[in-house]
Amino acid sequence: MTSTQSIDPGVESLLHSADSYDGPERRASRRIPRTLEISVQPLDDKMIESGAPFFAITRDISQGGLAYLSSRRADFDKAVISVNQGIAPGIVCRICNSSVIHSCGLEEFCLTNVQFLHLYKRRKNVSSK
């Protein structure tokens, strides 16, 4: 996020909630609270990009996956996660769970947890003759 953009106080409290988690750790590696802008590109059952990518913000990250906040609930099984600054290639991820954690009227904020699978290699279009 740029310094000119402000974060809604409600969203900011959701971002900081990763620091206050005191429950048992279920991940194989430690969660690190980290806020990054990411793009989420849903994939269909054949691992082909499906629909438009959307913006999300990470809440925490670990060696094996991450949690992100967005205004869209994950209604797909896999996605390509890319850091918006273009630092690294996209990573294919499995959606572990996605739930609405805050709503205000029609607007919803969802928390989605993903597991990293492998680096994404875009498929080349092959024409059939």
Q: Where are the beta strands (DSSP E) in 1-128?
A: 32-33, 37-43, 54-61, 65-70, 78-83, 91-104, 107-119
Nearest CA to 111 among 63, 58, 64, 61?
A: 58
Q: Give CA–CA dist 4/117, Å, rounded.
A: 34
Separation CA 10–CA 116 (nearest Å):
28
pLDDT computed for residue 124 by the predictor: 62
Options 2.40.10.220, 1.10.150.20, 3.40.50.2000, 1.10.3720.10; which CATH number does 9-19+27-119 get? 2.40.10.220
Assess whether pLDDT exceeds 90 at residue 15: no
Residue-wise over 5-41: b if at least 16 C-beta within 10 A, else e?
Answer: eeeeeeeeebbeebeeeeeeeeeeeebebebbebbbb
Query: What is the average per-residue pLDDT within 46-62?
Result: 95
For the cut 90, the answer to whether the pLDDT of residue 101 exceeds it is yes
What's the predicted TM-score (pTM) here?
Answer: 0.75
Amino acid sitting at position 20: S
* Distance separating alpha carbons of residues 102 and 69, to the nearest angstrom: 10
